[in-house]
Chain A
Amino acid sequence: MIPFFVLLTEIKTLIGKDFRLEFKQKYALHGILLYLVSTIFITYLAFDNIIDRDTWNSLFWITLLFVAVNGISKSFIQENPARHLYYYTVASPQAALLSKIIYNFFMMTLLSVLSFIFFFLLMGNPVIHIQLFLLTLISGSFSLSSVLTLVAAIASRAGHNFSLMAILSFPIILPLLMLLMKLSRMALNSVSWTDAGNLLLVLMTINMSVIIVAYLLFPYLWKD
């Protein structure tokens, strides 16, 4: 068990490293942004004029799921393996995992807000309870980043990254995705907070358990 303050410092340093890396190799960020915009554009062309509230909701979350799987799958393969050897010696696995989850959370929040903006521009805005919707987006980013980060670690250890990432993550992200779609459907259909509070609580409980399990499992995936 490493001391809490050491863990915090390590996490802070690693997140800083991730941000600097992202700004230095801009192509990864540009790639995922382009992926997002073109996916939404395909949706827009394919579903011409038949977008009702429920379709909008489903399309939005499916798009976000694909963007998340794509964006997060690079978490542990962005840097070359030799550099990972260096990280083994200076950081703890817990810090490595938590920093990736937090970094991916920031990235997913940005991407989900951007998706919302593009959906808004191309397919209109059916959201009537904007606060609840934004809250759902933020908790959705948190859910997606916490589950997918561990799956990205598993997939990267196994080598074959992208297709494996998709088949491993789709079935296990489902409980969270269903909750998120349910919450966002509420934000699309009424302005009341009733029911939403309970669901958010359930979502957060599942999220915290996911992070605890991931925290316990990750050290086994960190080194060969």
Chain B
Amino acid sequence: MLKRDYWKFLTCALILYAIIAGFLVELPETMIGQTMRNLFFHVGMWFGMFAMLVTSFIYSLRYLGKFDEQEDIIAVESANVGLMFGVLGILTGMLWARFTWGSFWVKDPKLNGVAVGMFIYLAYMVLRGSVEDIRKRAKIGAAYNIFAFILWIVFVLLLPRLSGDSIHPGSDGSTVLPKHLEPSLQLVFYPAMAGWILLGFWILQLKIRIRKMTNDKPS
């Protein structure tokens, strides 16, 4: 058990570290003050979301290769966990945006990209819900997932270049890229990101087990 689940201990350690160090680390003087600590939580949600959506994409591809129901369960459950991370990312981001930009939502390529991602995966869930037959549902769902994910990536990559400047940190030309962070913050940032991604996979594993146990059909 210890051998197989060592990564879960690692996840606990990393997230505990993210929370403790995230609240204790010395911050540099910036305009956003103490809200900078949100960095370790808000950005982690996006890393988690992205990892989950990539997993979903890969398992949809694999499903179309082998038509194994297990692959489909992983694809849909990782999309579900991805949506959960997305919602948390939006909520943590809104708090931060309210403080730094004065409103909960601003018209910005990063935010719009994420909103569109949410629409895509919610539509994916509606699509799956509307088909009764399991095999048909898995096949149609996988096809949409692959097609939509590719176009979503195009959208996310393209949008900042189309709509000019992003006020959101982390884009090209912005001075707040992770690699420009103070070394002391980087020491918290990277482990925290790894922790959130691992936590995503942990939740995913549990959700898959629950589904298998209840013998529920993927919807």
A interface vs B, CB < 8 Å?
147, 150-151, 154, 157-160, 164, 167-168, 170-175, 178-179, 182, 202, 206, 209-210, 213-214, 217, 220-221, 224
Judge whether A179 and B158 touch: CB under 8 Å. Answer: yes
Judge whether B158 and A178 touch: CB under 8 Å. Answer: yes
Q: Which are the 10 A-B pairs with shortest beta-carbon distances?
A: A175-B155, A171-B119, A172-B151, A167-B123, A171-B120, A217-B143, A175-B154, A171-B116, A172-B148, A158-B131
Closest residue of chain B to A205 (Cβ to Cβ) is B154
Min distance, Cβ A205 to any Cβ of chain B, angstroms: 10
Q: Which A residues are CB-close (under 8 A) to B127?
A: 154, 158, 164, 168
- Taken residue by residue from 118 to 162, chain B's Cβ proximity to chain A (1 for < 8 Å, 0 otherwise) reads as 011011001100110000100110111011101110110011001
Judge whether A182 and B116 touch: CB under 8 Å. Answer: no
Q: How far is the CA of A159 from the CA of B128 in the complex (A)?
A: 11
Q: How far is the CA of A172 from the CA of B140 in the complex (A)?
A: 16
Say yes or no: is B64 at the interface (Cβ < 8 Å to chain A).
yes
Main secondary structure of the interface of B (DSSP, over half): helix
B interface vs A, CB < 8 Å?
64, 116, 119-120, 122-123, 126-127, 130-131, 136, 139-140, 142-144, 146-148, 150-152, 154-155, 158-159, 162-163
Judge whether B162 and A150 touch: CB under 8 Å. Answer: no
- Cross-chain pairs A/B with CB under 8 angstroms, 30 sampled: A147-B151, A150-B147, A151-B144, A154-B143, A157-B131, A157-B140, A159-B131, A160-B130, A164-B127, A167-B123, A168-B148, A171-B116, A171-B119, A172-B151, A174-B151, A174-B155, A178-B155, A178-B163, A179-B158, A202-B158, A206-B154, A209-B154, A210-B151, A213-B147, A214-B147, A217-B64, A217-B147, A220-B143, A221-B143, A224-B136
Min distance, Cβ A152 to any Cβ of chain B, angstroms: 12
Given contacts A172-B148, A220-B143, A221-B143, contact A167 B159 (CB under 8 A): no
Closest residue of chain B to A166 (Cβ to Cβ) is B123
Judge whether A172 and B146 touch: CB under 8 Å. Answer: no
Min distance, Cβ B143 to any Cβ of chain A, angstroms: 5
Judge whether B130 and A213 touch: CB under 8 Å. Answer: no
Q: Which A residues are CB-close (under 8 A) to B150?
A: 209, 213
Judge whether A175 and B158 touch: CB under 8 Å. Answer: yes
Given contacts A159-B131, A170-B119, A175-B151, contact A154 B162 (CB under 8 A): no
Q: How far is the CA of A210 from the CA of B126 in the complex (A)?
A: 23
Given contacts A172-B148, A174-B116, contact A221 B140 (CB under 8 A): yes
Judge whether B139 and A172 touch: CB under 8 Å. Answer: no
Min distance, Cβ B219 to any Cβ of chain A, angstroms: 13
Closest residue of chain B to A173 (Cβ to Cβ) is B151
Judge whether A175 and B130 touch: CB under 8 Å. Answer: no
Which of A168, A206, A210 has the most chain B CB atoms inside 10 A of its CB?
Answer: A168
